[in-house]
Amino acid sequence: MSSIQECVKENDVTFLKFRISPGMCSQKDLDLGLMQAAKLGFVDCVKCLLEAGADINYTNMSCYTPLLTAVKFNKVSVVRLLLENKADPNFRSGLNMTSLLIAAQWGYSDIVDLLLKYRASILSRDVEGNTALILSSRNGHYMAMRSLLDAGCDVNATNNEGCTSLHYACHKARGYQMLLDAGANPDIADKDSVTPLLMAASEGFDKVVKALVEAKCNVNIPNESVKRTALHILSFKGHTESIDYLVYGGANIDACDTYNRSPLWYAIQNKKVNVVRLLLKAYSHVDTFQCPGKSSEDCPAKLAFEQKQFDIIKFFLLTGYDHDHVRECILADEHSDWLKSNPEYEHWLEFGSSAQTLKQLCRKWIRHYLGRQFYHHLQFLSIPEVMKNYLFLEELHDH
């Protein structure tokens, strides 16, 4: 004769009703049958077993209930039936997982909605301190995130690593705007001082960087390990679009990491000429800056000469950047041969040695006056576009 579990496996409700007649089976048989029916999603079998007295909150050796099992295997109809029959939505499995945490982790948005309707706790956390919102964000489940936010989940809750939902959303580039609109704090840093902006920068997500800057995040928070900011990371990667947003948001172009290297140094090291151009344009004090570095290990000008990047050296001559080191390198014997072999060398040597014109001096002092957020402030000056272009050192694009 077929066992209850065999009947459930075949979804044979007729024979199942016979097998669960009084005196035909034990309580354990009923409970195991219910677990099997919940896993397979057979609603009629679940109804039949519940009517026969199966324990709706029975737990197996893994501390899973029929509801937790149905949620795990995404059996929406069974979940609904169990909740209607007062299954405990907040029971925890052996891994401290509730039904809501499991559904959020896997992105089962219909089940998330059902559980919330039946008062599943939005405060529950797993063993790593993750809330349902953090789990759905970590796995990029947009619809589940939306439901959890609407239910009042704490958008700024952190897990044991100090990460919020926004950290994971920015790492995936999914759902970040929804979280920001819901009040997510973009400046919360994890245990390693990594912010959502640093995560987005590491992945090179331009749109995410833009959204975070528009949300008024602090663009100058460095990581803990080597004190690099988002500008360091993106300068190395060559993301001019993101760098533009960062500079507009007040990024410190001078910021140095643990190795005393600036974003400009990393752009030169990785031969990102467009980034070098942008950083020099955006730096209000470019023509008076003198690098304290002693070698190509930490001085952008010396690195450019060591790597024989003549285009970048021209930028330095045009802008007046780190004049002392540039002049020192031009006169150094070690660079003499390759510099003189360049047909433009004499022209640029003469340019770098000549006195500044009145026009150039005026530009210098206007840029200085606008200050460290020159790039931002210039947008709002009511002056002709041709004047803005001149202040922006547009001639860098001609070389």
Per-residue pLDDT at 1: 39
Dig out the tokens for 190 from the structure. 């994890």
- The upper half-sphere exposure of residue 164, i.e. CA atoms within 13 Å in the direction of its Cβ, equals 23
Per-residue pLDDT at 397: 67
Reported as a single tens digit per residue, the pLDDT across 308-331 is 999 999 888 888 888 889 888 988
Residues 133, 165 contacting (CB under 8 angstroms): yes
Per-residue pLDDT at 399: 59
Which of 197, 202, 286 has its CA nearest to residue 245?
197
On average, the pLDDT of the chain sits at 91
Reported as a single tens digit per residue, the pLDDT across 322-379 is 888 988 898 888 988 898 888 888 887 787 777 777 777 787 777 777 766 676 677 7
Average the pLDDT over 129-144 and give the result: 97
> What domains lie within the chain, and their CATH numbers?
1-88 (1.25.40.20), 89-173 (1.25.40.20)
Reported as a single tens digit per residue, the pLDDT across 214-273 is 999 999 999 999 999 999 999 999 999 999 999 989 899 989 999 999 999 999 999 999
Average the pLDDT over 160-179 and give the result: 97
For the chain, what's the residue count?
A: 399
Reported as a single tens digit per residue, the pLDDT across 34-78 is 999 999 999 999 999 999 999 999 999 889 999 999 999 999 999
Q: Which residue has the higher pLDDT, 318 or 115?
A: 115
- Rounded Cα–Cα distance for residues 21 and 81 (Å): 22
Per-residue pLDDT at 231: 98
pTM of the model: 0.88
- Rounded Cα–Cα distance for residues 291 and 305 (Å): 14
